[in-house]
Amino acid sequence: PRLDEMYNSFDFETVAKNVLSPVAWAYYSSGSDDEITMRENHNAFHRIWLKPRVLVNVKEVDVSTTMLGSKVDMPLYITATALAKLGHPEGEVVLTQAAAKNNIIQMIPTLASCSFDDIVDAALATQTQWLQLYVNADREVSKKFVQHAEKRGIKGLFITVDAPQLGRREKDMRQKYDQDTPDEIERNKTEVNRNEGAARAISQFIDPSLCWDDIAWFRTVTKMPIIIKGVQTADDAVLAAKAGCQGVVLSNHGGRQLDFAPSAIEILAEVMDALRAECLLDNGFEVYVDGGIRRGSDIFKAIALGATGVGIGRPALVSVSKTNERTNKRTNEQTNKQTNKQTTTKLTLSLLFIPYSMPCPLTVWKV
Ligand code: FNR
């Protein structure tokens, strides 16, 4: 289809499935086990209904907001997803450019396929970027990385806590991973098993012993706000606030980790209640959600239920998907030429489709 025939993020997903190599598609699209949580992530939004009020002046609608102190044009950020080069030869840098065009935040993954510094160098001076951290068993490696990121102007440290062991993503496991490994793996000389998919090849270094004491230690090594990514209960959100973190991301890793974990949107209201009950929201503690955000109405529901903002993973990846010569030998020249030209514009447009498909003022809906 032509770009002007693409109406929503699902359209981009359909194109991506045809354009991407089998390895890339398996890595991006897979969830763990029976993929019940992955499907539930978007389905859960279908159970939340709106309460539309009429005769409210909606001539001017401003969806800009502030996240961890940065002003952004919409309550949406591109979250961390590893290995963007599987889907586009320029990798994460394309997402940096798209984030700049839309004045939204990009979270840089530890397992980026571009180097961390290249991704930071690609950003405008005014652009906000965050860092997602997988904590290394060698804490000195993580400490150096975090302190380097802080020096480079990163505005938030998101520590991923929902992957102490890798979820079984069977679609991905059926593929062989034949790409270069990210910097993090190179630095650690971690052994790489290439026979059971991309995720298994790149995640060996993640420390399963990570616990709350480590979060306290991270607070001593950086002044960046610390946000726990992958919280799945109200109790843990409360613990994060009490541990001095500046926020949490309610997330189940896009349904790629624990199958039958609840969706973020399902638990958001009870998390907000628990934080409010202990007055833990008073110091500006922020709650983000990700997983299954596909339309403006999804963002709207999350904001109305108390989230500061939402992250998108797969919608960003599929919007810049492009035939990669190295990984996809079966694609013809024509598709290649077309996707080449349109890459960043595509993401720009797809991001715009998401928020503006629901032109309702945020103030009118109450739970
Ligand atoms: C992820 N996610 C992820 N999270 C993280 O903390 N570190 C990582 O390296 C990755 N890598 C990654 C790769 C791919 C291909 C996907 C799809 C996801 C999880 C990600 O940050 C986010 O939680 C989910 O992607 C949100 O769900 P949606 O938007 O993809 O439905």
**pLDDT in 10s for each residue of the chain, 367 residues:** 677 788 888 988 888 888 888 889 999 999 999 999 999 999 999 999 988 888 988 888 888 999 999 999 999 999 999 988 888 888 999 999 999 988 999 999 999 999 999 999 999 999 999 999 999 999 999 999 999 999 999 999 999 999 988 889 988 888 877 777 777 767 666 667 777 777 767 777 788 899 999 999 999 999 999 999 999 999 999 999 999 999 999 999 999 999 999 999 999 999 999 999 999 999 899 999 999 999 999 999 999 999 999 999 999 998 887 776 554 444 444 444 444 444 444 454 444 444 433 333 333 232 2
270-274: long-range contacts (C-beta < 8 A, 24 or more apart)? 270/234, 271/231, 271/233, 271/234, 271/237, 271/306, 272/305, 272/306, 273/234, 274/234, 274/235, 274/237, 274/238
Question: One of 77, 177, 253, 259 is an active-site residue; which one?
Answer: 253
Among 39, 43, 81, 319, residue to substitute to test ligand 1 (most atoms within 8 Å of Cβ): 81
Tokens matching residue 259: 């199958």
Alpha helices in the chain (DSSP H): 9-19, 22-29, 36-43, 92-102, 116-121, 139-151, 170-173, 183-188, 197-202, 212-221, 234-242, 264-277, 296-304, 314-319, 333-356
Alpha-carbon separation of residue 36 from 39, 63, 222, 290 (angstroms): 5, 32, 37, 16
Ligand 1 center to residue 232 CA distance, Å?
15
Alpha-carbon separation of residue 243 from 73, 80, 212, 249 (angstroms): 30, 23, 8, 15
Ligand 1 center to residue 217 CA distance, Å?
25
Ligand 1 center to residue 124 CA distance, Å?
24
Ligand 1 in reach of 80 Cβ (< 6 A):
yes
Q: Which amino acid is at 187?
A: R
Q: What is the pTM of this model?
A: 0.89
Neighbours of 291 (CB within 10 A): 32
Phi, psi for 102 (deg, rounded to 5): -100, 0
Return the sign of the alpha-carbon dihedral for residues 57, 61, 66, 67: positive
Tokens matching residue 163: 């992957």
Tokens matching residue 307: 């989230």
DSSP tag of 158: E
Ligand 1 in reach of 264 Cβ (< 6 A):
no
